[in-house]
Structure 1
Amino acid sequence: MGMNTNSSSNSGDPEVMADINTTPLIDVMLVLLIMLIITIPIQLHAVNLDLPVGSPPPSSVLPDIVKIDIDAKSTVYWQGVALTAPQELETRMQELAAMPVRPEVHIRPDKAASYETFARVLSDTRRFGLNKVGVIGSEQFLE
């Protein structure tokens, strides 16, 4: 297959024909083409979904927002009023957890505040089931 000999030459030595046999290459290309043709229709199938139909909730109802600030001295402020004891924060969070519609909690720590204070406030919100929590003011950390 790879070599073709020609015995009609007068020299007595057979001539070597150095052509590349492209038949296996063509066979592989045809197999790949057939596999490609077979798999393309599989990718084009559509999936039918039954999406829920309904009206979006009214946008005029905004949730209440509770702002908790932590200053550079790690003092916790509830809506702008400084809290003197950690128990005071816990009692206010218990009151929020008892509400039928729980408000959003926005925590804004200062850049120089201790991480321990921030972690305690964040864990208290989780412990009392206040799941709508946002940390705001993070642009000050990009400096």
Structure 2
Amino acid sequence: MAMSVGDGGDERPMSDINTTPLVDVMLVLLIIFLIAVPVVLQSVEVELPKVEFEPTTTKPENINLAVRGAADGTCEVYWNLTRVNSQELLDRAVANLKGVVDRLGSNITPDDIPEVHIRGDVNTPYKCIGGTVYQMQQAGFVKVGFISEPPAGTNFRRA
């Protein structure tokens, strides 16, 4: 590291800025940040699910629910096209499942239980969707799924 020392007979003061100490400080800070940054950045290894579009088979006995948030912050749940509140949803779900069990008797398998398909609006609060899923699970339904719009340009073939 060089430093200019006034030599010769020139008696006026030196007007050049000595940048050597500034460069030294910046190099030290750069080294400190290069060492410290990997320690600060922590990440948890997570394997994200692979999403594949699989068309659903709609059976007549499946339950279709539409859920959206109202302007006043409440939740609106529609059983097919009929609006229901939380208690009515539970009562209808229990009655529906009881009818299936009575109809099939003791020969019931998990495949015989109807599925619940929930269509949730994009702007629906989580509490509305979560509450609907919880109510349907309380009623005894084990297959609760979400209906979404496929990505644009997706071609699929129904089997």
Q: TM-score, normalised by structure 1?
A: 0.48
Larger radius of gyration: 1
Name which structure has the greater RCO, CA cutoff 8 Å, separation 6+: 2
Q: TM-score, normalised by structure 2?
A: 0.44
